[in-house]
Amino acid sequence: MWKKILAGLLIFTGVVTLIACGSVPETMQSQKVDSKVTSSDGKILVVYFSASGNTKRVAETIANQKNAALFAIKPSQSYTEENLNYRNTDSRVMKEHGQPDLRPTYEGDVENWDSYDTVYIGYPLWWQQAPHVVYTFVEHHNFGGKEVIPFCTSSSSPLGTSGTNLAKAAGTGTWQVGIRFSGGVSTTEVLNWLKGK
Ligand SMILES: Cc1cc2nc3c(=O)[nH]c(=O)nc-3n(C[C@H](O)[C@H](O)[C@H](O)COP(=O)(O)O)c2cc1C
């Protein structure tokens, strides 16, 4: 009986000493590396365009919660309040709306695009669709091997065909249905949606 207890104690002390000396078995070492990769969450990217801040707020909430990288699509010529006035037939947005093939340029680009597995892509609805500059972005990137989750903000229009049309324009990637938030959506509502992601 006492011999068994002594043998047990010796084995226990041996294991403790091995761990304390850093001599961790290989299987445990690889688990350690795996968990590091998952916790850094460097594989998620949130890309968004926002003209008046609503989509930006949602994008930042997603990026914070998911520990993701954030890229703002900033048109080379930014939109002033006057530019955005769709009630004025001469405004910039009204003129651009009449040119469906227009692809405004934007500043900079995503670094290490290939390293991301999941891309959230956010935009305001303009005439029930993503603005032209978001098309510039999706047409210039290869989404192959990536899961893409569109999200938009609007006054009242639903997501509609805005996400599927972007998916068609991209031509690559696994696009989810996505979600529409109201312009004044609360952080809690966005976080609740993210719980299911
Ligand atoms: C040019 C223009 C067109 C818009 N078209 C729609 C629309 O079709 N449906 C809608 O519900 N809201 C529409 N809106 C409202 C925006 O989608 C909404 O305010 C959005 O939250 C703005 O996002 P942002 O602050 O990120 O730019 C439009 C706004 C602008 C400036």
CATH of the domain at 179: 3.40.50.360
**Cα of 19 from ligand 1 centre, angstroms:** 58
The answer to the question of residue 5 being in a domain is no
pLDDT band at 4 (very low <50, low <70, confident <90, very high): low
Q: Is 83 in the pocket of ligand 1 (CB under 6 A)?
A: no
Q: Is 95 in the pocket of ligand 1 (CB under 6 A)?
A: no
**Cα of 109 from ligand 1 centre, angstroms:** 24
Is residue 2 over pLDDT 60? no
| Distance of alpha carbon 157 from alpha carbon 180, whole angstroms | 8
CA angle 131, 177, 41 (to 5 degrees): 90
| Distance of alpha carbon 23 from alpha carbon 17, whole angstroms | 9
The answer to the question of residue 11 being in a domain is no
**60 or 7: whose pLDDT is higher?**
60
Domain ranges, residue 104: 41-195
pLDDT tens for 128-165 read: 999 999 999 999 999 999 999 999 999 999 999 999 99
Average pLDDT, the chain: 85
**Cα of 42 from ligand 1 centre, angstroms:** 31
So what's the pLDDT on residue 197?
Answer: 81
Q: What is the mean pLDDT of residues 71-95?
A: 98
| Distance of alpha carbon 116 from alpha carbon 94, whole angstroms | 35
The answer to the question of residue 23 being in a domain is no
Say whether 58 sits in a helix, a strand or coil.
Answer: helix
| Distance of alpha carbon 81 from alpha carbon 107, whole angstroms | 20
The answer to the question of residue 75 being in a domain is yes
Q: Is 78 in the pocket of ligand 1 (CB under 6 A)?
A: no
Tell me the residue ranges of DSSP E strands in the chain: 44-48, 69-72, 118-124, 147-154, 174-175, 179-182
- What percentage of the chain reaches a pLDDT higher than 90? 78
Residues with Cβ within 8 Å of residue 127, at least 6 apart in sequence: 97
Looking at ligand 1, which atom is closest to the CA of residue 182? 21
The answer to the question of residue 13 being in a domain is no
So what's the pLDDT on residue 59?
Answer: 98
So what's the pLDDT on residue 196?
Answer: 82
Q: What is the DSSP string of 114-145?
A: GG-SEEEEEEE-BTTB--HHHHHHHHTS--TT
The answer to the question of residue 187 being in a domain is yes
Is residue 17 over pLDDT 90? no
The answer to the question of residue 16 being in a domain is no
Phi, psi of 170 (to 5 degrees): -70, -45
**127 or 39: whose pLDDT is higher?**
127
Q: What is the mean pLDDT of residues 34-44?
A: 48
To the nearest 10 degrees (0 to 180), the angle between helices 187-195 and 54-66 is: 40
Report the number of distinct structural domains present in the chain: 1
Per-residue tokens: 5: 């207890």
Pocket test for ligand 1, best of 129, 151, 154, 165 (most atoms within 8 A of CB): 154
So what's the pLDDT on residue 135?
Answer: 98
Is residue 92 over pLDDT 70? yes
The answer to the question of residue 24 being in a domain is no
Q: At residue 126, what is the residue type?
A: W
